[in-house]
Structure 1
């Protein structure tokens, strides 16, 4: 029988990856491995990798690049001692010709000699810091996935990659919005400070109760909807690029690395 989220809250990154690799957990990773870097993932052919890297460089808030594999090597050696990008995420999304065709637990049979894997910083890092400051993260406490929206904000294109910025939303007490922005700004490799606070319509979101990804979350009285650039943005860019095959994490189901989320650098020396 698979493990439950609450059973894994005290596990180390290596222990969590071992459970995931063995097929023992397929849920979201919010609230797990406190203090460890979590990462969004994108895997694409080498022929498109340089343009994708340019896209990340031009859009550092939604796409903070923290690691890259060598071509054809599935081991993410700079983020841990035994990280297999094909098997160590709880769930993957597979795109063919720009269309999401399936979600699955591993992608071993889809990895190719020309595959390149990218790791991008994740909002779970700043969520831990906010919780440490006593700011409630409703989706973590209620075992759901943060709501995410395709916004009206546009990314800076590179090659075939571009399109709308995806944002994640959290309800923040109105008297703590400035404090939240200050805390999150300390984590530029995890999307940094929010991109917007207040009226969702100002960034093209019509209904905060109907997210494009994740689960709806309440907006209690005295709270403000606050929006951060989100690591699902590359999935929109990959859809637009229409590559024959590319792979990402399933939203909310991240890679858990060995490096600390607040380290000055997230890069380890390779073995």
Structure 2
């Protein structure tokens, strides 16, 4: 496999590099929404080479939840396509280690368990379009409340491959109807980080029974007159892990992302 060089960074981004250094040295251990203003954040999926080709196909069949930003060669822990000094073993605040589909650890680095056969996938994250929403005066509730974004498993099936399948996961941001319409227009410009919402309004229609109990992240307050707005989410691969139970896999912890040197503005399609 080769990295996607279309996003290749020529020079480091000081703010993004500073945030990665803070994470790498344990100074920042929480969610990353709102950090490194202006720079793309990425979900992370790490798999043995034996399953990597099929996961690449899964991403191609599911571009809304799994928009690929870059893929490494087996064993490679740098990611120059997204940042010259990135170390995938240490630059995420919290990882998740899975064995046979069960979460067995949430370390702050992967130094002790890194393997030469691991292939890493950087997947676009909705935190990246939040900058544009904020610039248009739209409140991002999990940021204003200092919480992790709420995420939910749905009854929407992903497009399966031979052995990979599972329910779509969505992130939610409550908004006034007028702001939701504007959010559709704004986020449609960013297909590389999930693009437009996949659902607005009644959460039960997509299988969410209790909006106050997210499957990942934290609940946020929904004001009177607001509607929940749902975007496809890069935590979807974790629902696939829960469903098909691969022997070994590593992900980021939900909301704890990889910060890159790519500008959010560079991902706008129009």
TM-score, length-scaled by structure 1: 0.92
Instruction: Show the counterpart of 2:196.
Output: 193
Q: How does 1:1-271 map to 2 (within 5 A)?
A: 12-264=15-267
Tell me the SS of whatever aligns to 2:40. strand
CA shift for structure 1 position 60: 0.5
Cα RMSD, aligned residues only: 1.3
8 Å contact 1:68–1:116 — kept in the other structure? yes
**CA deviation map 1:45-73 (0-9, x unaligned):** 00100000000010000000001111111
CA–CA distance in structure 2, aligned partners of residues 197 and 125 of structure 1: 20
**CA deviation map 1:176-231 (0-9, x unaligned):** 22211010000001110000001111111111001111111111111111111011
CA shift for structure 1 position 265: 8.6
**CA deviation map 1:62-117 (0-9, x unaligned):** 00000111111111121011111110000001100111111110011111110000
CA–CA distance in structure 1, aligned partners of residues 216 and 254 of structure 2: 7
Tell me the SS of whatever aligns to 2:265. coil
TM-score, length-scaled by structure 2: 0.92
Q: Which runs of 5+ in 2 are unaligned?
A: 1-13
Instruction: Show the counterpart of 1:269.
Output: none
